[in-house]
Amino acid sequence: MMQAIGYAKAGPISAEDALTRFETEVPEPGPRDLLVEIQGVSVNPVDVKLRAGVEPEGAPRILGFDAAGTVRKVGAEVRHFKPGDTVFHAGDITRPGTNAAFQLVDERIAGRKPDSLGFADAAAMPLTSITAWEILFDSLGLREGEGEGESLLVVGGAGGVGSILIQLAKKLTGLQVIATASRPDTRAWVEKMGADQVVNHRNPLDREMKALGITPRYVASLTHTDRHFGAIVELIKPRGHIALIDDPGELDIASIKLKALSFSWEFMFTRSMFQTGDIEVQHRLLNRVAAMLDEGTLISTKNKHLGEMSVDSLRAAHEFQESGSAIGKTVLDGFQS
């Protein structure tokens, strides 16, 4: 048996039983699975969205979509890893999550843990790195080294995805990167991540960009897309591209026609959810990110460490994520054995 934390009923984090600790069986690996002992996790917006609004099918549901740990057992067809290897991964939204002592993950969506980072710091990186990588190279269609003379506007630059997207764009493309932030601490953070310019998303973004004299070809909208969509359409270049990851209620999609804009959603769980033919690209890109972290080309986006995983520490992490004041990523150590 193993320890796990989950939720049995959707609702607010303030509810007494919003998260519960329980025991469950240690799972057995399938053919391509790794059984990973979880030694570090981080919390993402998807954790709080599911806990707040999606009733679990069979309670309780184990959340968590970022982890780093040690492989303890492998499936019969595993070829990339062996027991004793350390890995990091973002998991699969259709399977039990990382808030447990052990978790199964398909080896094709796991990468080797960066040697230079501890487990908790490494756990800050997988989900956001995959998302940012796919925004740049799948959604926006860029190739490494491209983008010279063009600009990318990152709306919500101080969040987890924005923090690594700024870094990847600066290190792997020729794009000028403008990030949005409104508070002194968030402005300082996106500058630390490498943003060339910072604009205030509490003001109309088209006016902010006009004041800079910059017309971006690419926009990655990571939060509050419904609030900013009109300004984004106004400020972007004709034949530009908008990519987003949030869930706006309504968008005037017809408004992008006159500029012949391209529009795409990024959802990093698509490859694992639908077992796409190219699922293994996530393994390769995580290995690349690990190498860049070890080289010092990228830095961890961990900004808050809340100690060992427990109901209380995980509740605090959910509360902080929901507060709207989170910068970078919040991480926890795994259960102490």
In this structure, the answer to whether residues 149 and 220 fall within a common structural domain is yes
CB 90 within 8 A of CB 126: yes
Which of 265, 280, 309 finishes a domain?
265
Q: How many domains does the chain have?
A: 2
Least confident span in 94-108, 160-174, 283-297, 318-332: 318-332
In this structure, the answer to whether residues 89 and 21 fall within a common structural domain is yes
Q: What is the rounded average pLDDT of the residues 50-69? A: 93
In this structure, the answer to whether residues 52 and 16 fall within a common structural domain is yes
In this structure, the answer to whether residues 175 and 257 fall within a common structural domain is yes
When the pLDDT of each residue in the chain is averaged and rounded to a whole number, the result is: 96
In this structure, the answer to whether residues 136 and 260 fall within a common structural domain is yes
Q: What is the rounded average pLDDT of the residues 203-225? A: 96
Residue 336: pLDDT band by 50, 70, 90 thresholds? confident
pLDDT of residue 324: 84
pLDDT of residue 147: 96
Which of 224, 249, 265 finishes a domain?
265
pLDDT of residue 58: 78
In this structure, the answer to whether residues 33 and 132 fall within a common structural domain is no
pLDDT reading at 130 higher than 80: yes
Beta-bridge partner residues of 188: none
Q: What is the rounded average pLDDT of the residues 92-121? A: 97
Which of 265, 285, 316 finishes a domain?
265
In this structure, the answer to whether residues 14 and 133 fall within a common structural domain is no
pLDDT of residue 337: 59
pLDDT of residue 231: 97
pLDDT reading at 273 higher than 80: yes
In this structure, the answer to whether residues 192 and 302 fall within a common structural domain is no
Residue 309 domain boundaries: 2-125+270-333
Whichever domain contains 50, its CATH number is: 3.90.180.10
Please give, one letter per residue, the 3-state secondary structure of the chain. CEEEEEECCCCCCCCCCCCEEEEECCCCCCCCEEEEEEEEEEECHHHHHHHHHCCCCCCCEECCCCEEEEEEEECCCCCCCCCCCEEEECCCCCCCCCCECEEEEEHHHEEECCCCCCHHHHHCCHHHHHHHHHHHHHHCCCCCCCCCCCEEEEECCCCHHHHHHHHHHHHHCCCEEEEECCCHHHHHHHHHHCCCEEECCCCCHHHHHHHHCCCCCEEEECCCHHHHHHHHHHHCCCCCEEEECCCCCCCCHHHHCCCCCEEEECCCCHHHHCCCCCCCHHHHHHHHHHHHHHHCCCCCCEEEEEEECCHHHHHHHHHHHHCCCCCCEEEEECCCC
What pTM value is reported for the model? 0.96
In this structure, the answer to whether residues 186 and 207 fall within a common structural domain is yes
pLDDT reading at 59 higher than 80: no
